[in-house]
Amino acid sequence: MRNIASRTLSLPVSDAELAADLLLPDDAIGLVVFAHGSGSSRLSPRNLQVAHYFNELGLATLLFDLLTAPEERVDRLSAEYRFDIPRLSQRLVGVLDWLAGNAELGALRIGLFGASTGAAAALIAAAQRPQAVHAVVSRGGRSDLAGAALAQVTAPTLQIVGGADPQVLRLNREASQQLHCEQQLAVVPGATHLFEEPDALEQVALLAGEWFCRHLHDGASSDS
């Protein structure tokens, strides 16, 4: 087992202070920033399970709330904010800028792990900060909501979709045609949107972990 330090942070972005949890293994080979999906939070059991798997691979993880506590209360009643992709992507860009200025974390190559609407925010952020983002993984993501930003993404992008999630699979296939970066579309057979079937989330973690290790760790070695 690796020695993994855990910290709670408050991340200042342009219009809010966002609660965050950092898990930092010794000698981390990269940092994966999570952008959760519709109606979720940094405490999502699915994201936490994947994050702990990444930590054992030597990847640091940063899970943060895209919405403030008052916004989350409103969103639970009205779903007003969860599809506000400009707001979500702006805040993710703010987190990337904060990381770039952090003496301890700024040296780590960054990957983005987006779920549902968080995947659109991750792709837009990757397009806006190409020097900062070195890999993107979408889990059951609404990549289509990134719109014109898809063509501007340069980071290697992996889209993971459940085979029993036909609408999102169709949207991901359409989005892949607009991506001009290194990319892959991986289908987990029999999995639905939330990957709640036995072993489905484990397959997501394996696919995503391999993608991030290849593009964050190997890339770091070639840069040195």
Q: Which domains occur in the chain, in start order? A: 4-223 (3.40.50.1820)
33 within 8 A of 112, measured Cβ to Cβ: yes
Rounded CA separation 205/64 (Å): 19
User: Residue 224 is encoded by which pair of tokens?
Assistant: 């040195």
Q: What is the model's pTM?
A: 0.93
Q: pLDDT tens digit string along 124-138?
A: 999 999 999 999 999
Q: What pLDDT is attached to residue 42?
A: 78
Low-confidence ranges of the chain (pLDDT < 50): 220-224
Q: What pLDDT is attached to residue 218?
A: 56
Q: What pLDDT is attached to residue 28?
A: 95
Q: What pLDDT is attached to residue 72?
A: 81
Q: What pLDDT is attached to residue 16?
A: 85
Could you give the angle at which helices 200-212 and 45-56 cross, rounded to 10 degrees?
50
